[in-house]
Chain A
């Protein structure tokens, strides 16, 4: 460790405890039928990583096709299918469950001092639903794909395309239920399972962020479900709810779809905010500045998030008054988001900052999310939106938020909690390198797309005018670097499972309850139910604990 005032614990004496959640039972069935939230989190982690690489491969194909202005790698129809599957896989099978189903599943019960989520069977069911949805979607891909874009826009999806809209829709429907069950489980757990003394305002902000995201999952996802059901009914038997020839209105589909799918972006990003609150406090050794404001800003984002959906529809024929109102409301979301960014920055102020990998990803997150968020204001303003919508500006904007924001947060979280999940450290130097490579690759990939967008390059086409080629080459080159940045963690994290340094209970000297137990944890998480007698992020309390502690490990 470099010279700081912080002394991280000596890991040379640490041993992996013989009894932990990984070793308690053996065999495939002990995993497939488990009720343990930690094991389900691992199941999710493996499957989510699998789908991330499928979606990533699609992204690679897209960038490769866009290397040249003409359509030379694949036909336009194929290109449509590839970007649709990229969207569907990345959104429904990666981003929505990414942090909640893995880190949330693993750590919410531990952070609140519970033995498990309130509904372990529902938790397992949620994973099976996720897998069923994943299989459906892979199946559609193998049998001809779907080319509506991930938005299933009517009447294209109901009348004009002859691809696997139904099976993909069913897959998304099932994935939705998986997400509903995760959110429902979190809400119940946070309400009913907190340890003695764990009041709402002693909860780690990670838990607050997941609580807010869970509200969105529970209230938003069913609306997507009914929209998909209506599309399916329209496609199969021809009912007329969205069909203009029968008097239905395709815009109604847009309303129902975006009523979920806008809150969905907050489902994707809020858990990421939660991760950042944890890492920034731990690696600055300071309580998060303005704890209450950060906690409530999560809830505020969840509430505002439900009233901005029509900003996806400014050019689709909603009334001017609606545009005005939704534009204003959209700007409002910037307020709680800014509160978070400012408070994290103030947390850094006079902190004892160290630059371990999770912190590097955290800094990456803060920069990229800020750019992503601010360009969102351009798009929320109706005037600029009319120019920028349906161009690469949009693509760059949501990739800055989703990839630059959420994926960075996900990787920050994975590295941060890796020692707790596996009992072993990841290799620090190479992972710092990976974090930097990811950051550079990301900017190379997506920053040119902002420029392309303002120049007017439309999204969702396989070909483009030759004058856009230079920036597209930049973008594709950046995507290659980004690909390396994502491949590295897979390799060294797998390596570390066997060869990583043994971590010990609390390698970061973090304050959360999850760090006050062995790594990897016991199946019941704690030997005795912890009693919370201090505030969250109380580093003085941690110091006092260490004084009391007899040096024993394992």
Chain B
């Protein structure tokens, strides 16, 4: 940091390579208050990680609630999680992991200045993100039809009388009917299910909106001229949203599959 004499040579070294020795002589994107490009990229990256830390704390509240209520109302949580469709959940996990891959490709393309590759990767990520939300809609629709949305004429039928729910009963024939007071606690499960997946979906929607903006800018040639901080940081955000789902999927869908 002490050396602020910028040496102008090799004005096109890869920006990802922060220790290459030569600085660009004041590229246009270097904001006035930074000494050099490395410091600027360093600060932006660090800020993004801190922001993700706040996001962890945000979701942390929900995970805490899940942990507590799962311990309290174990049978209700098992029965309620049997209502979730493993097929759609698995498919969505695959969709989301693939979108993380395309996003990583996007970052790589930006760093190596491949404009077409960047636009393609971003568009793919955009489509996969929308695909995830589409699948989520299918799942939500089923919950609405079964009156499993808390607060809206919530129905205990599937839990008091498992036979009435033919499809689930076929899949989990050993599920015993729950007593009414325990069955009522499935509403807590679905409260958490909607709060957690809803907050996750909200993050996806924000991400997709930003992706749209990035595709527009990338087509105009942004991000592939050396200044890749925005793409890198958005990549971190996207992977974070992915990781949240990686925790949600087993906790909501898988953990009670064999109980």
Chain A residues in the interface with B (C-beta under 8 A): 114-120, 122, 180, 184-185, 187-189, 191-194, 196-197, 218-223, 225-227, 229-230, 233, 237-241, 246-249, 252, 255-256, 259, 524, 529, 531
Contacts and interface: CB of A to CB of B under 8 A. Distances in A.
Contacts of B195: 229-230, 233, 239, 241
Contacts of B88: none
Contacts of B50: 184, 187-188, 218
A534 B199 CA distance: 50
Contacts of A120: 31, 33
Interface stretch (B113-121, B186-194, B218-226, B244-252): B186-194
B61 A119 contact: no
Given A114-B33, A247-B73, A252-B68, A240 B188 contact: yes
A241 B35 contact: no
B150 A238 contact: yes
B231 to A, nearest CB: 17
Q: Which of A225, A248, A259 has the most CB of B within 10 A?
A: A248
Interface in B56-101: 57-62, 64-65, 68-69, 72-73, 76
Contacts, number: 128
Interface of B: 1-2, 4, 31-33, 35, 39, 42-44, 46-47, 50-51, 53-55, 57-62, 64-65, 68-69, 72-73, 76, 149-152, 184-185, 187-188, 190-192, 194-195, 199
Contacts of B43: 118-119, 188-189, 192-193
Contact of B47 (A118, A227, A246): A118
A119 B76 CA distance: 47
17 contacts: A116-B33, A119-B44, A184-B51, A196-B1, A218-B50, A218-B53, A220-B57, A221-B54, A227-B61, A237-B150, A241-B188, A246-B150, A246-B188, A247-B69, A247-B185, A256-B64, A531-B2
Q: Which of A117, A220, A239, A256 has the most CB of B within 10 A?
A: A239
A247 B47 contact: no
Contacts of A249: 68
B75 to A, nearest CB: 12
B258 to A, nearest CB: 24
Nearest to B51: A184
A375 B253 CA distance: 49
B46 A225 contact: no
A260 B34 CA distance: 33
Contacts of B72: 247
Contact of A241 (B47, B57, B191): B191
Contacts of B57: 219-220, 222-223
A89 to B, nearest CB: 24
Given A122-B47, A238-B150, A219 B53 contact: yes
Contacts of A114: 33
Contact of A247 (B32, B54, B187): B187
Given A119-B47, A120-B33, A246 B187 contact: yes
Contacts of A529: 4, 35
Given A219-B57, A223-B61, A227-B61, A188 B188 contact: no
Contacts of A241: 65, 69, 188, 191-192, 195
A115 B33 contact: yes
Contacts of B151: 237-240
Contacts of B73: 247
Contacts of B150: 237-240, 246
A120 B53 CA distance: 20
Contacts of B190: 239
Contacts of A185: 47
A531 B4 CA distance: 12
Contact of A248 (B33, B51, B188): B188
A118 B190 CA distance: 42
Contacts of B31: 120
A120 B185 CA distance: 48
A229 B57 CA distance: 14
Given A184-B50, A531-B2, 10 more contacts: A117-B33, A118-B43, A180-B54, A189-B43, A226-B62, A238-B152, A240-B151, A240-B188, A248-B191, A259-B61
